[in-house]
Structure 1
């Protein structure tokens, strides 16, 4: 049996959840200050909300009941605790909030700041501890030149300390740029001082806004990130891959130059793009139900995949893992629609590669060229976005075919740019044969169905009405690896073996 589908039974029974240091146990139990309950209650009462959904990540759930009780006492509103979200905890779970009829959502802890569109929203990041003096000292060691051009980025849970850090550095470093948090359609609880931003030069990306000096671009700056290594830092480094990054880890109180080889990481992503070009069947994974415009990008992906002569299927399965995706061997490549921080999935353990919407567009849209630019926010690919590239409609009067060589298999790939390569309007989607080109070559349109028909095992047969009805009997006891009646370990040779070759 493959390791991806089994685990040690003892380890499963003893599994535990690591609680983050942001919990009140390490802050002297100062619940009101840590979770900024005063500001939260003002948000609820000023808008006259009656039902409030409180979304906590797993590491903050131990404090959820206490926070909920405190808010109910101060506002007289009914609160609902949202935990174990279907997707990444950095995203707002608007679907779960709507299930309880909530009037608004309060999101606690780290966040990707992706825009939402359904319910009023308040972000409470909390106040992770940080030594400002040590952070300033690490910055000075990493940038000894006082004329250095540096943009300061940070994890949202340290936003409360950024104002103090700016005061320590601004007199020494006149060219530093301190970013500020901004979330569309949401309110933020943050203590950083107000920064003067010039509207004509402001840059807004990933919930951060900042200005660069006149006549300069982001590539002229270095990046200083405050926070531990993780998805947020990786997302920044992949997006601004021409900038040199340094970081300060508040938990370790150490600063360092980030040595991640961005070029190597980009080449891994380019390999995934080549796999997407070779793919005939594409699975679209729904990785969010809260980020604005996720349905629009799904429809756009369906369109470009269809025009590229590929078949697509949509999957909504919550948090993805290796066993879930291994159930669909007919899929050649998956494309994940998620927030920017959760899009860069390391699919090395998966049986099929998982790419981002940007990578799928590179594979299917010949008018989009690889320039080294990397886009993790799918909203930028939509019409009106900064990285949108139109897909021309196929020419009805020509039959232009382009060929190239797969860099993985070495085989020739042929793609048609005319409508004769796709199913014509008015024909049934269930048709098994379609005309591919004028040479009367036929191709199977229902690729996944034909793959299933060729499988040696196609699942259990229902046999409706053929199975006799019997009385319910007592089932097995224990865990799947060793049921009690199987007698494993007691010398009973009549037991059924757990695995067969």
Structure 2
């Protein structure tokens, strides 16, 4: 039962059955491939139980075909729509760490997994942190810890007792089911980077601001900003956490490592990453030839982003090449020594590539806009 709960066999089967899918691709990252056979067997058994009595004798009701996908061409955090199209899939079930980037053509169901965590120890650290600092706290987390957030909320209320409670807000998971997004129209506007925010007046006369990053979403009341909050991250030191640190670098951040049951407050290594990103942008300003690395063929709007990058680069008087090569590595990019810098068009997490071993810097589209377009600096604060 624990296995079926971790892999959400019942909700997955319900998603497939409700949408009448007949061909479904199951996308596993490398570390979860060992469980793929058991997942397929459990899903088949559950799907058979959802069919009407006698349906297995009816030739008009085909059995669902399940296809295991591995070794994705690009980052495993994104839905591999290209791989799914090779088997003519109706939909995709994505397992493990994800960036929840919008899909282009196929609906997707996300199984985040349920990483083990000591709720009591986490609450003790959270309450101590909140009471000690006497400031507002915003709890963010890796998606594999989403299953524990409700328990953490309840235990935190009990731990604080009836006295004055510190103000603690929790992010929510954006969704677990995603339908294809329509391609955005080409425009001259800046693309929406990670950590985007929008005005929200859906709560009567009270205005709030909605933030989203890495599949998480939360609201801040009118007049509040991110710098007013201490950020408490529950999860690993992975690309999702690096995205948080780089995006909200003006906030004080701590990380609770659930695997070690420890609180980490020294984020000097992450701060050094931020300094390096600034250094790469400065080097990009001197580039004469720019290579655009296509890091996805499925994330909604990627073609529009490539088009915008070409216009930006040519407008800055530089030459541009577009390269499609799967996952980049130093050996691949060394074949293009004429390129002074590369722009990695991918999801927000995959695009943060550590390029120390590369001959030329690899930057994100947002960093490219800051480097190549002086007007972006004026609007930068609006995208934090």
Same fold judged by TM-score > 0.5? Answer: yes
* Alignment-derived partner of residue 46 in structure 1: 18
Superposition deviation, residue 264 in structure 1: 4.0
Q: Aligned match of 1:116 in 95, 100, 103?
A: 103
| Partner Cα distance (1:214, 1:203) in 2 | 10
Q: Aligned match of 1:72 in 41, 44, 62?
A: 44
Structure 1 residues not aligned, in runs of 5+:
1-28, 188-196, 374-385, 389-501
| Partner Cα distance (1:262, 1:108) in 2 | 27
Superposition deviation, residue 110 in structure 1: 1.0
Superposition deviation, residue 86 in structure 1: 0.9
Q: How does 1:34-183 map to 2 (within 5 A)?
A: 34-75=6-47, 76-145=63-132, 147-170=134-157, 172=160, 173-183=165-175
* Alignment-derived partner of residue 407 in structure 1: none
Cα pair 1:139 1:255 within 8 Å, conserved? no
Cα pair 2:138 2:168 within 8 Å, conserved? yes
> What root-mean-square deviation, in Å, do the aligned CA atoms of Structure 1 and Structure 2 show?
2.2
| SS of the residue 1:341 aligns to | coil
* Alignment-derived partner of residue 21 in structure 1: none
Superposition deviation, residue 202 in structure 1: 4.5
* Alignment-derived partner of residue 218 in structure 2: 210
**1:337 lines up with 2:337 in the alignment:** no
| Partner Cα distance (1:327, 1:123) in 2 | 37
| Partner Cα distance (1:233, 1:136) in 2 | 20
* Alignment-derived partner of residue 232 in structure 1: 240
| SS of the residue 2:116 aligns to | coil
Superposition deviation, residue 118 in structure 1: 1.1
* Alignment-derived partner of residue 186 in structure 1: 178
* Alignment-derived partner of residue 251 in structure 1: 259
Cα pair 1:115 1:184 within 8 Å, conserved? no
Structure 2 residues not aligned, in runs of 5+:
48-62, 180-200
Matched positions, count:
339
**1:265 lines up with 2:273 in the alignment:** yes
| SS of the residue 1:222 aligns to | strand
* Alignment-derived partner of residue 297 in structure 1: 305
* Alignment-derived partner of residue 285 in structure 2: 277
| Partner Cα distance (1:117, 1:247) in 2 | 34
* Alignment-derived partner of residue 466 in structure 1: none
| Partner Cα distance (1:259, 1:337) in 2 | 27
CA displacement 1:429-463 (0-9 Å, x = unmatched)? xxxxxxxxxxxxxxxxxxxxxxxxxxxxxxxxxxx
| Partner Cα distance (2:223, 2:336) in 1 | 52
Say which one has the larger Rg.
1
Q: How does 1:455-466 map to 2 (within 5 A)?
A: none
| SS of the residue 1:312 aligns to | strand
Would the alpha carbon gap of residues 312 and 146 (structure 1) be closer, same or farther in structure 2, given more than 3 Å must change? closer
Would the alpha carbon gap of residues 372 and 309 (structure 1) be closer, same or farther in structure 2, given more than 3 Å must change? closer
Return the TM-score normalized by structure 2: 0.83
Q: Which has the higher contact order (CA 8 A, sep 6+)?
A: 2
Superposition deviation, residue 47 in structure 1: 1.0
Cα pair 2:289 2:340 within 8 Å, conserved? yes
Superposition deviation, residue 170 in structure 1: 3.6
Answer with 70-79 or 304-313: which moved more: 70-79
| Partner Cα distance (2:212, 2:9) in 1 | 28
| Partner Cα distance (2:22, 2:3) in 1 | 22
Cα pair 1:115 1:183 within 8 Å, conserved? no
Cα pair 1:53 1:97 within 8 Å, conserved? yes
| Partner Cα distance (2:236, 2:265) in 1 | 13
